């Protein structure tokens, strides 16, 4: 009897446990559904904060700033050598007179400043044409050689270039690339009977600007690199002198500007 009674009790306990498990399994999906619905309902009830519009506004400001930057970057790519910079002025230049000692100065901002009164206003009244554009490198000047040197028919072209190659204004450049561009400019000029003067790259120094801040020029333009470009100029002159008839150089093969 006792064994029979114990067996009945054990069976009842097992049945209760099975019922509990079954109810829990049934209730789990229901609980999950209720949690999802309650979360959705709560999200609808929470009033929108002001953070979202602020972020959207900030993003719009960033977008406008980025668009301006993209336009500034895109503009130089449309006219990388800046041929439009002097196009109108070039169109106004008449052919040289019979005995005119015309000279074109091709270069960067250093050359561009020569005609400015605040920097001296050099060569007033002379038939000298300034074709300096600030920040330019030798590959840009090479592309300008035909419309701004050859087309203007000067007797002499004075080329001052290389410092912005060293600074990497249009990207990293090797000394060989700078040499190739300078040589090509000289060869183009010689092919059209134009004498060439290659100017030494001007030295730089660290200085204090007008705003009181230190301007460290020697980091972007190390003196030793400037010296290398000067040696390249000398090398091109020696090499070109061997190829071009002496009459293009004047007396004794020396480069000289016209008198006066």
* Last residue within a domain, chosen from 62, 80, 98: 80
Q: What is d(CA 42, CA 39) in angstroms, rounded to the nearest whole number?
A: 5
The pTM of this model reads: 0.66
Q: Tokens at residue 163, please? A: 């410092």
The CA-CA-CA angle for residues 242, 247, 250, to 5°, reads 100
User: Are 117 and 73 within one domain?
Assistant: no
27 and 69 belong to one structural domain = no
Q: What does each C-alpha distance from 130 to 87, 97, 235 come to in angstroms?
A: 13, 18, 26
The whole domain housing 74 covers 54-80
Give the number of C-alpha atoms closer than 13 A to the C-alpha of residue 148, restricted to the C-beta side: 26
Tell whether 76 and 156 lie within a shared domain: no
- Nearest residue to 199 (alpha-carbon basis) of 67, 108, 124, 122: 108
- Token pair in block for residue 226: 């400037």
| Per-residue tens of pLDDT for the chain, all 260 residues | 444 444 444 554 454 554 555 554 455 454 444 444 455 445 455 455 555 555 555 556 677 777 777 777 776 678 999 999 999 999 999 999 999 999 999 999 999 998 888 877 888 889 999 999 999 999 999 999 999 999 999 999 999 999 999 999 999 999 999 999 999 999 999 999 999 999 999 999 898 888 888 889 899 999 999 999 999 999 998 887 644 443 333 333 333 444 43
Tokens of 146: 């035909």
On whether both 35 and 139 belong to a single domain, the answer is: no
């Amino acid at each position: 009897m006792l064994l029979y009674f114990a067996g009945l009790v054990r069976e009842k306990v097992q049945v209760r446990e099975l019922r509990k498990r079954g109810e829990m399994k049934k209730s789990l999906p229901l609980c999950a559904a209720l949690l999802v619905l309650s979360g959705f309902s709560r999200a609808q009830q929470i009033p929108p904060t002001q953070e979202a519009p602020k972020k959207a506004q900030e993003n719009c400001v960033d977008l406008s700033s980025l668009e301006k930057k993209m336009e500034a970057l895109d503009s130089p790519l449309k006219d990388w050598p800046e041929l439009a910079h002097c196009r109108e002025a070039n169109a106004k230049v008449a052919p040289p007179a019979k005995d005119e000692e015309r000279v074109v100065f091709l270069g960067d901002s250093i050359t561009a400043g020569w005609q400015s009164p605040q920097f001296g206003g050099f060569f007033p009244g002379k038939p000298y044409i300034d074709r300096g554009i600030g920040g330019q490198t030798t590959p840009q000047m090479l592309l300008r050689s035909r419309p701004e040197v050859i087309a203007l028919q000067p007797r002499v072209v004075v080329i001052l270039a290389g410092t912005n190659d060293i600074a990497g204004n249009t990207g990293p450049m090797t000394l060989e690339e700078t040499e190739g561009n300078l040589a090509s400019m000289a060869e183009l000029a010689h092919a059209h009977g134009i004498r060439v003067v290659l100017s030494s790259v001007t030295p730089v120094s660290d200085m204090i600007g007008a705003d009181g801040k230190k301007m460290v020029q020697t980091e972007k333009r190390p003196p030793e690199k400037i010296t290398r470009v000067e040696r390249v100029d000398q090398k091109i002159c020696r090499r070109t002198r061997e190829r071009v008839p002496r009459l293009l150089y004047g007396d004794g093969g020396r480069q000289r500007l016209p008198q006066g």
